[in-house]
Amino acid sequence: MRDVAIVGVGMSKFGEEWNRGFREIVIDAGKKALNDAKIKGEEIDGMFVGTMAAGSLIGQEHVGALIADFMGLTPIASTRVEAACASGGVAFRQGYMAIASGLHDCVVVGGAEKMTDVSTASVSDALGGAGDQEWELFMGATFPALYAFMAKRHMHEYGTTEEQMASVAVKNHYNAARNPCAQYQNEITIETVMKSKVVASPLKVFDCSPITDGAAAVVLMPLEKAKKYTEKPIKIIASAQASDVIALHSRRSLTELAATKIAAKKAFAQAKLTPKDIDVCEVHDCFTIAEIMAIEDLGFFKKGEGGKASAEGKTRLDGEIPINTSGGLKGCGHPVGATGIKQIVEIAWQLRGEANQRQVKDARIGMTHNVGGSGATCAIHILEKGF
């Protein structure tokens, strides 16, 4: 196994991209990553692209070939990866393994989704396929409802409050307001969240991530080769993935994601680190309760203490463990296939010291946590400054 490094990163502006199509936002992110890496197309010998629902949302399948075509990268091997909302994270893992194994020497990994060209109902139906379509979506249980079940149970078992969940949204909007790529660059208050419309009690509009268009991309190489292209290579020191039963009714617990706990255990073992060694982390906050459960399942706080820790500011930029410095899915946006790669881009910026107003001081080791559906897939990566 070879050591693998990130040599280039890029992402499009996240938001409602009415004037650009799927291929335009992908090319935007891809060009930025290639320019950042200072490489030419002929040096790339493989590509992996995470996208969840292009067929349902824009009527386009065969996305791997489409992107290779319009980025001028044919005839390289270009593969689409689908793992629901974890498509980006799993695509990154495929790229990492391709370099580590020696199969490829230069790989582009991208993630993209164009979600705003169809109705909200159509988006909900497409996303519902990330759960158990027959036993959940067909019965009317969309993802806000599924995460509302988790929130209610977490509140019942641990005394978590709606105000504590709201504090997650407030913190993430604060970070997003300092991220020029974010969909929502505005700060909010606890009152804003609490007075917003109920979507699925106790979750309100401001507890939920938005519908978003966006793309992100990274360039991977063997570490020894990376140093020829950049003075700031980011080393991948752990890559782990785990799965769980897809439907909530089969879960052992509604207050934890088993796939997160298992993938985290594998990642920490691979990196020979503990949660206390992580300086900054991007977690999958599709809903505010999801961030609270994530910071518990990853080991940053004991089970049941995530809500209190969030309300006390322990996850802010200057807190004990800065979480979602990009603004997370909640503030930066959630173009589902792109989210896992956006997380990697943000951590790379943090470790390079290039996050500007949201920079975490002396960040050396970062982590990403990307979840598919209500927790049936989880991909976790740990990154380290390679300079």
pLDDT in tens, 315-348: 999 999 999 999 999 999 999 999 999 999 999 9
Of 154, 173, 284, 334, the active-site residue reads 334
378 is catalytic: no
Q: How far apart are the first and last CA of the chain?
A: 20
80, 17 in Cβ contact below 8 A? no
Q: What percent of the chain has pLDDT over 70?
A: 100
pLDDT tens column, 125-171:
899 989 998 888 888 889 999 999 999 999 999 999 999 999 999 99
Contacts of 383 by beta carbon, 8 Å cutoff, 6+ apart: 6, 234, 235, 236, 237, 344, 347, 348, 351, 365, 366, 367, 368
pLDDT at 133: 87
Ranges under pLDDT 50 in the chain: none
Of 85, 181, 208, 332, the active-site residue reads 85
Distance CA 20, CA 24 (A): 6
Tokens 């019942």, located at residue: 156
pLDDT at 205: 98
Distance CA 328, CA 289 (A): 13
Which residues of the chain form CATH 3.40.47.10?
A: 4-119+212-234, 125-209+238-385
pLDDT at 140: 85
Q: What count of other Cβ atoms lies within 10 Å of the Cβ of residue 145?
A: 18
pLDDT at 387: 85
334 is catalytic: yes
pTM of the model: 0.98
Helices 63-70 & 22-37 angle (0-180, nearest 10):
60
Average confidence score pLDDT of the chain: 97
pLDDT at 160: 98
- Give the burial string for 308-326 (b: 16+ CB within 10 Å, else e): bbbbeebbbbeeebbbbbb
Q: Does domain 125-209+238-385 have CATH number 3.90.870.10?
A: no
In CATH terms, the superfamily for domain 4-119+212-234 is Thiolase/Chalcone synthase (3.40.47.10)
